[in-house]
Amino acid sequence: MKKKLVFLTGAGMSVESGFKTFRGNDGLWENYPVEQVATHEGWEKDPTLVTNFYNMLRKKLYAAQPNEGHKLIKSLENDYDVCVITQNVDDLHERAGSKNVIHLHGELSKVCSSREPYDERYIIDLPADNCTVEPGTKAGDGSLLRPFIVFFGENVPMIEPAAIEAQNADIFVIIGTSLNVYPAAGLVQYTKPGIPIYLIDPNEVMSGAYKNITHIKAGASEGMKKLIELLWPFIQ
């Protein structure tokens, strides 16, 4: 039986693909204040601005390609039962071939009802050749189509299935997200005591509370190469 290998990926995973998935330290996302484009209040105030912002972001996403780190995660499916939990709204894991991906913060490639965002009847996939939503377009329930994104302040319904995956992990790997920030810190606490945990991040990190964390000080692709070397004994 294959060991359960669970990844938690954040913004640092997609940096090498040239796609900024999240706000910078200055509180801006692609030069827009986060409050304008990633909150429920921003959506209510100006849905046209928000719709056009995500149209622009979607085009940037479809111009980006999965990097070697994404592909190496996919390659581990040959030897492990792999689950990817991602904070990223891009679809780069899926395009690299990963089969089991949980999106905590929604998916940029989809739009949904603004009344019932998780009603599957009204969730629409937008392909690369038709990824623009005209402002004012209605969902099947008559409400405005909105980005299938978890805005700041909204509930994160996928955290529950993510926590179950973390509980079942034999090995847990964090890439490109801080241990100090929700949800990474929370999900680590769900892991079984004593399992190996790897943190891939080029920066210094505070991991003092977790004695079983191995820090691989590298970016996503280089870090994944080193991780595969470290995981080799577990495959046997």
Q: From the CB of residue 121, how many other CB atoms can be counted at a distance below 10 Å?
A: 10
Catalytic choice (40, 70, 105, 215): 105
105 is a catalytic site residue: yes
Per DSSP bridges, beta strands 124-125 and 106-113 are antiparallel
Distance CA 101, CA 13 (A): 14
Angle formed by the axes of helices 220-235 and 68-75, nearest 10°: 10
CA angle 100, 105, 108 (to 5 degrees): 85
Q: Which helix (H) or strand (E) holds 33?
A: strand 32-33
Amino acid at 105: H
Count CB neighbours of 11 within 10 A. 19
Phi and psi angles of residue 213, each rounded to the nearest 5 degrees, phi first: -95, 130
Give the residue numbers annotated as catalytic, written as ranges. Answer: 105
